[in-house]
Structure 1
Amino acid sequence: MPTRQGRYTLRLDSCPSIVSFAAVVGKKEGEGPLAQEFDIICDDTTMGEKTWEKAESRLQKDAVNRALSKGGLSASEMDFILAGDLLNQCISSTYGLRDLNIPLFGLYGACSTMAESLCLGSIMVDSGAAGHCVCVTSSHFCSAERQFRYPLEYGSQRPPTAQWTVTGSGCAVVAPSCKAPYVRAVTVGKIQDMGITDVNNMGAAMAPAAADTLKTFFMDTGTTPDNYDLILTGDLGQVGSQLVEELLQRESFDISKRHSDCGLLIFDIKEQGVNAGGSGCGCSASVLCSHILNKIQHKELNNVLFLATGALMSPTSLQQGESIPGIAHLVHLSSTSYQDDCTINGH
């Protein structure tokens, strides 16, 4: 059963396992530094579908099916699926997953959705409420541009602070503790709003939430950045990554030697023309469900803090002049369980 550790962190005493995972990405992502680690790389933006929105649904469907296949699992064994995306009414998830016949929790955490789904799925498994939970999310550059910014045909110029929405999907299947990667703890974030109104500066809007959640986790657990091999933020990009390090430095937490960001890992920002880096639900999801979980599984990383960040605005709120609230959820992933710790320590 989960036990509260500090004020906002839940320790998952059984350490649920991520028993299978998969990542599906688009052509541009497949030309980046992590190309060899993705399960499927699509060679066009439509994935053979008639619209970009249908293409994004296909991303999720393919990611779930590949994760189940890799784990030797079937949809009928899954108790719940926790899914969401960036589009209105989360249509990428509902249309993409409707044929799987798995009970669905639809989530909206913007780009924090991968961490949100992992938090909830892991809590359900740890509590005994579920045996298998599918956690999945996606984004698509073209569908996101059409909804949140300008139609691609408009040809608007992107400022240096802008980020490139990743075309991709990541899926992780959580089950009772059996093997690495393990989920040891989760911290649910609080909404932070510093008054940023620029939709082309999402990193600045989300960085305060990332800093607040990390500070909360360190204080709740009595740990420091040096206790972790990697502190991985979701899609802060170049601007937000610098800001979160500065904000935490003011609180006497130096994460600079441990910190990396999915938005900076998935693209070569000097060569691929993505301005400040990657963003979108699919950014952190596809990096986590390939590069990071592979490294934990092979014990190349032991303790990882995965912190997906989200901007909780809508096109309507932006048109009305509202600021952009941010949120960040944290998942502590490890190559060892609490039981392993006891064995290693001889207890």
Structure 2
Amino acid sequence: MISMPDRYTAVPHREDVDPFVEHRRLLFGTAYQMLGSVTDAEDVLQDAWIKWHGTERDSVQHTKSYLVRAVTNLCLNRLTSARATRETYIGPWLPEPLLTTTDAAQETEMADTVSTAMLVVLETLTPVERAVFVLREVFGYSHAEIAGFLDRPEATVRQISHRARSHVQSRRPRFDADDGARREITEKFMAACHGGDVNALMELLAPEVTLWNDGGGKVTAARRPLFGPDHVARWMLGVMAKPISAGIHLEPAVINGELGILGKIGDFIVGALTFDLIGGRIENLRFQINPDKLSGLRPGAGEIPGSATQ
């Protein structure tokens, strides 16, 4: 279970609080899960904030719905253009990771939908399918409300919702939910990497393990997925042994609602590793090292206009 970073947490309603600031957690969560990008989500919030402050407030009957609609349509525009951009992306594309915190007051479903594995699945939806899925399955909006956000007939939205849900369910990863087991595997993984123990590392990996690296052409990274325990383990230890990696320390962190690993040199974050634990072994590893996609791992990132004094 997760909560979004404090900077996105809604403040209690007060008459003197800007409604945009009051709903910023919802708005950021909507944008992030639609886009899979902290940077793009922050840009959308900036654009939405500008739009909001240029709006005649008396013409807005339902403030929260107006803001969600504005963010949704800005996201749809970005998703459409992002598809073309990712066709020329260098190497595998992975979502931007986001530091989160465990919070028993939050719904279990939120942790599932914000996980890196789920964000990867959402990438296979069309922009409209993704918008409908996030609004319906994550935030619980009715089909009628979503139809209003998207200016589409309710019957059409119902069809899109059913199609998107079926698509996601057929691809949704099924992984171990035991937090204790995940912590134990994480600690063993870090110890094996720090110690250069290839055999210990291979024992943690499933026979069908796959490793994806997202360097975006900005840093050296494998441009194709790596398959199998031997290839994955030797690549990981090879990276750790390179001179450029000198001083890298791995430490556990809650990333996208699940325990993952940060790579740091001193206090500087150089990468984030998330994985699926299935049957007690690591089956999928996702290594985000593109420096342009690590802003969600740094304190203070993502402030929006008007929030500094809240």
The TM-score, its normalising length taken from structure 1, stands at: 0.27
Where is the helix percentage greater, Structure 1 or Structure 2?
Answer: 2
The TM-score, its normalising length taken from structure 2, stands at: 0.30
Where is the strand percentage greater, Structure 1 or Structure 2?
Answer: 1
Work out which of the two has the higher radius of gyration on C-alpha atoms and give 1 or 2.
2
